[in-house]
A and B are shown apart, each in its own frame.
Chain A
Amino acid sequence: MQEVELSDILTAREDGDYIVNIGPQHPSTHGVMRFVVSLKGEMLEYVIPHCGYIHRGIEKMCERMTYPQIIHLTDRMDYLSAHMNNEAVSLLVEKATGVEVPERVKYIRTILSELQRIASHQLWWAAFGMDMGGLTCFFYGLRDREHILDIFEESFGSRLLHSYVCPGGLMGDIHPNFQKRTKEFIKYFRKKLPEYDQLLTGNVIFEQRTKGMGIMSKADAISFGATGPVGRGSNFACDIRKKFPYSAYDKVDFKEILYTEGDSWARYKVRVDEMWESMKIIEQLIDNIPEGDYSAKMKPVIKLPEGEYSQRVETAKGDLGVFVVSKGEKYPYRMHFRTPNFNNLFVISQLCAGNKIADLIAISGSLDLVIPDIDR
């Protein structure tokens, strides 16, 4: 990126230069995110993201909470990947205390993660279509997402913020209907997913607004640390499930979706294809969930031995890292979350430069940003 002084960007220099503020309450920013945009006529020059509108100080709060309590905070970072966020902290605590969780837990966690990934991508698909004026997409996406949320609600009583995965295993066993309903959903969604393609993928307007827009090279994706579907759209093989398998990902066969174009279109295709892959993973596991306990025996007060621990998982948005410095107490001394959205956000200025202002919405939509995950 070109190095510029902030004061230069924020002053209109010649005729036709504008500084426009977008957000923090603009619906297309998908949350409380504010962009200050420098324009030359209709063309974007710089996009400066301003964060912090939903900063809650989660890392500081963690320093005064026990590990089972922290689980409930992680839900609220990327609320569309609640299971994976819970799992990241749980895996870290289990690794640090040397607890081996039952096979049953590993299988259920993997299935839940993949269901959550589908739900997240469905909502993104719905909102992405709507960002570009296709209101029908929103109804289609939410209609199908509802089925997953119903499965979640039946098994653990909440639809969005579950806090179901906890250190040692799960909060409770799955509902007896869980397997049946999940299989029903897969059967249903295998019929419905082609509709997504009919509605958006082949649409000329949609193609023109995404193909060749917001191109990011592989080198940039790596340098900016853009992971998840954003990175994989630029051919950056960053899937933690493949690189460092956790839970039951080493037992399943799935493809890491990679596209080389690096534009909004590629990022779109990665997510649609990932929904197919997630269904494949669930199908491989759903009939083979081993019998056993839903949780390993944990001490009533979990203390991590002194040292530094890390755990990375693949959420629907990318590489989530959890890092803990422990002094042997029941509270972490320092907890840090490397969140995928934080790193995915800052590519936006580079992606938007030279495009029209209307494309800012399309490009930021293709990044699938969840703002609470950025601000923490």
Chain B
Amino acid sequence: MEKEQLGLVLAELFPTLEINTSGDSVRFKADTADIHKIAAVLRDDKRLQFDYLFNLYGVDREDRFSMIYGLESTILGHIVVIETDIADHDNPIIDTVSDLWKTAQYQEREVYDLMGVKFTNHPDLRRLFLEDGWGFPLRKDYKDDINFIER
């Protein structure tokens, strides 16, 4: 589906959201609380069919965390990027989407491991690469006195 057309369908489904079709791919910003609901609609709606979560990552923006989801429909060939801000920087929590796309289970574990974002209803939220008790290295305030050289 073309970008503009996809933007119209999304605007119809989520009238409160601002859909941006000017960039490389269609993007929109969603509320953290709605993310699972929106994701389920995106996957199951017949006109959208986003069945492939090609990417999921977090960004530490110092005052808040952002989670970015990249979705692609292997049937209809279109892409959408969803961004959501987690306002609570001390204790970031967001709903999992691992029940919708199995790949999310492991990508979310990676985000939890390296960034410390917790996912509610995640079936197996353990550290993936690092040991328990290690800090969250991808946070901007992460300090490692031994291995870091400050310039």
Listed residue (A52, A219, A237, A334) with the most chain B CB atoms within 10 angstroms of its CB:
A334
Q: Which residue of B has the minimal Cβ distance to A322?
A: B55
We find that the number of chain B residues with CB closer than 8 angstroms to chain A is 34
We find that the number of chain A residues with CB closer than 8 angstroms to chain B is 35
Q: List 8 A-B contacts (CB under 8 A).
A: A1-B102, A59-B138, A223-B102, A243-B77, A310-B25, A319-B54, A333-B59, A336-B57
A321→B101 contact, CB < 8 A: no
B103→A321 contact, CB < 8 A: no
Q: Which residue of B has the minimal Cβ distance to A244?
A: B79
Listed residue (B55, B110, B114) with the most chain A CB atoms within 10 angstroms of its CB:
B55
Q: A57, A237, A334, A338: which contacts B59 (Cβ < 8 A)?
A: A334
What would 4 more interface pairs be, CB under 8 Å, given A52-B129, A60-B142, A321-B55? A6-B126, A60-B137, A308-B68, A310-B70
Residues of B within 8 A of A219 (CB): 51
Bound complex: CA A344 to CA B111 (Å): 18
**B124 lies within 8 A of chain A by Cβ:** yes
Bound complex: CA A220 to CA B25 (Å): 25
**A236 lies within 8 A of chain B by Cβ:** yes
3 closest cross-chain pairs (CB), A and B: A52-B129, A225-B103, A336-B57
A5 nearest CB across to chain B (Å): 9
Given A52-B129, A224-B103, A375-B129, check contact A334 B52 (CB 8 Å): no
Q: Which residue of B has the minimal Cβ distance to A219?
A: B51
B30-72 residues with Cβ-Cβ distance < 8 A to A are 51-55, 57, 59-60, 68, 70
Given A60-B138, A222-B51, check contact A321 B70 (CB 8 Å): yes
A338→B74 contact, CB < 8 A: no
Bound complex: CA A1 to CA B77 (Å): 26
Residues of B within 8 A of A57 (CB): 137
Bound complex: CA A308 to CA B82 (Å): 12
**A294 lies within 8 A of chain B by Cβ:** no
A95 nearest CB across to chain B (Å): 8
User: Which A residues contact B (CB, under 8 angstroms)?
Assistant: 1, 3, 6, 51-52, 55, 57, 59-60, 64, 219-220, 222-225, 236-238, 243, 308, 310, 312, 319, 321, 323, 325, 333-334, 336, 338, 342-343, 346, 375
Q: Which residue of B has the minimal Cβ distance to A59?
A: B138
Q: Which residue of A has the minimal Cβ distance to B124?
A: A6
